[in-house]
Amino acid sequence: MSLHFDLIALDVDGTLLRDDHVLTDAIRDSVREASSRGAEIVLCTGRGPSGALPVLEELELGGTVITHNGAATINADDRSLIHQFDMLPDDLQRFITYSREHSIHFDLNTAFDMMVESMTPEAESMYMHYRAQPAVLDFTAGLPAGLVKFTIFGSKEKLDIVQAEWASWPSQLQSIRSGDFFIDVHHAEASKGKALQQLAELRGISPDRILAIGNYYNDITMLRYAGMGIAMGNSPEEVKLAAKAVAPSNAEDGVAAALREYAWG
């Protein structure tokens, strides 16, 4: 059967990977089959390149990766930057001060580098899961240039409170929940949907030739942009409502089922 889409955009955590961060054989084989049938596979993730590229390598694929929730798009083959949305350091200061005052762990990210000012055992364990190795730096003298994402990490209950408070702040930046234990802050125009649109226009691919699969709030923009947006069964209800179809969960090889049914079924 012929492939119905030219580009397939795939979220990583909660979508491609199980909750234990494992890429199953069924998922790997189905994604590789879509690639062999002619689709361009694009990972669209909140992770930075250091966490995203190993997943691409597990899939035995290359090409373009949309990272940091769309704030940086990179060419995985030569590690070059295609596009990024920079943040102004002054716009970040309120978020950093809040995090310090409330003892919330945070990291700062350029397109390729992750930095922290301190490390807890909980944070260290979390970074190991995501294959990230942040550098520990002193930010008191100023922030580095080229920042694309600021992320806080904490309990779901604590971040629920932070999310509600930050939503009321007037800011040149946007904050978005990228997982139960994470809130990301980045440029107001940065999103997975916007980065996917930029890439599609660069390729000359219309939205109706794009299939996107995701599971969380930071995936909503790409699910709406794609001609076929599919939410995972483990998605919150708001994400499912933004999609045209719902696949089985990431514990049930949902991506493989979705590709079989919609990509060439």
Q: What is the overall mean pLDDT for the chain?
A: 96
Residue 170's pLDDT is what? 87
Residue 171's pLDDT is what? 85
Q: Is 68 left (phi over 0), alpha (psi -120 to 50) or beta?
A: left
Pull the structure tokens for residue 51: 């966490």
Residue 235's pLDDT is what? 98
Cβ neighbours, 10 Å, residue 5: 24
Q: Which residues pair with 184 in a beta bridge?
A: 151, 176
User: With a cut of 50, which residues of the chain have pLDDT below it?
Assistant: none
- Structural domains in the chain plus CATH codes: 7-84+190-263 (3.40.50.1000), 89-187 (3.30.1240.10)
pLDDT digits (tens, 9 = 90+) for 39-87: 999 999 999 999 999 999 999 999 999 999 999 999 999 999 999 999 9
Residue 1's pLDDT is what? 66
pTM of the model: 0.94
Residue type present at position 189: E
Residue 3's pLDDT is what? 87
Pull the structure tokens for residue 42: 């694009």
Alpha carbon 99 to its chain centroid, in Å, reads 22
Q: CA-to-CA distance for 237 and 151, rounded, in angstroms?
A: 24
